[in-house]
Amino acid sequence: MVFNSAILARFEKLVVEKNDEVTQAVVEQLVNQGFHGQLKAEIVQQLCRKFNLSSVELALGCISVAACYAITPVSAFNVGAVAIGKNGDFYFGANQEFSGECIQQSVHAEQSAISHAWLAGESLITDVVVNYTPCGHCRQFMNELNSSTSLKVHLPHSQNNLLQSYLPDSFGPKNLGIEKVLFDEQLQSFEVKGDKLEQAAIQAAASSYAPYSRAFSGVALQVGEHIICGKYMENAAFNPTFLPLQSALNYRLFLGLADIPVSRAVLAESQGTLSSKAITVSLVKSLLGLELEYISIQTA
């Protein structure tokens, strides 16, 4: 339990530093649920009533807790985020960096929280709460969401900011003729075959988001007895695209399973105009010490 022990040590340090009941209550809840970095709507409501807070005020109290999940061997700069779903669920996120890999493999906190929400089955994000002003990369990433015109961004020093106020005269999927965007329900039809892990990777690819390249892809990780999937999330500006391996690793982290070794990694990918195979092979090898299993998938 090396990584969860490190998170617990950060939690304990934060509780002492903040010295407030909200932080203590949030930390206790996360520890009780095995470091699973999500607060269900009913828990959020209970905490809001207990401390007489709005959901955004509570989320502002959670971002320093979310930052305890950060993995930052390069920058040592921890960012925490909370994405709020349409029914009030809180999805935690944190930035993650990978030593020895190119900087483009990094995960931003806002990407982390949003990918976490998507994999957990969320259909719409109403608010993103973060402890530092979103960088341009993340602003563009959030512009792909089906809630981009109404999405509010909240910071410790400034609340209720529409995403579009950070992106005047923005460029997004509508400029490229895309009507169904990120978090809209859409499913590709691929032939599902192979063992359980391979099937899971194909199914993740089928529900991934790749309207520009059509290179739909998904990753499935064997994590002890668990199968954890990640899905490709493309972006109109291309570079803010979120890769499926990062999506799966991030979900593993926020499910509280980071201490359970990964024994297999499968990437399923349709043949589009590009591929994330090479960059995925590299990170699977350097981070997990594994050979990537690759499946080229076909339409059913």
pLDDT at site 83: 99
The reply to whether 182 falls in a domain is no
The reply to whether 224 falls in a domain is yes
pLDDT at site 219: 99
Q: Is 291 a catalytic residue?
A: no
Domain with residue 146: its CATH number is 3.40.140.10
pLDDT at site 27: 98
Query: Which residues pair with residue 262 across a beta bridge?
Result: 223
Instruction: Give the helix ranges, DSSP H, for the chain.
Output: 2-18, 21-32, 41-51, 55-66, 109-119, 136-142, 163-166, 196-206, 244-254, 277-283
Note whether 257 and 145 are same-domain residues: no
The reply to whether 24 falls in a domain is no
Residues in the chain predicted with pLDDT less than 50, given as ranges, are none
Token look-up 């109404």 returns 150
* Number of separate domains in the chain: 2
pTM of the model: 0.97
pLDDT at site 38: 99
The reply to whether 121 falls in a domain is yes
Note whether 114 and 243 are same-domain residues: no
Predicted confidence (pLDDT) per residue in 197-252, tens digit:
999 999 999 999 999 999 999 999 999 999 999 999 999 999 999 999 999 999 99
Distances (CA, A) of 281 to 16, 123, 172, 251, 294: 41, 30, 30, 19, 9
pLDDT at site 172: 97
Alpha carbon distance 120, 207 (integer Å): 13
The reply to whether 26 falls in a domain is no
Question: Among the options 110, 122, 198, 269, which is catalytic?
Answer: 110
The reply to whether 257 falls in a domain is yes
Alpha carbon distance 230, 235 (integer Å): 16
Q: Which amino acid appears at position 75 of this protein? A: S
The reply to whether 114 falls in a domain is yes
The reply to whether 191 falls in a domain is no
Cα-only R_g, the chain: 18
The whole domain housing 289 covers 196-297
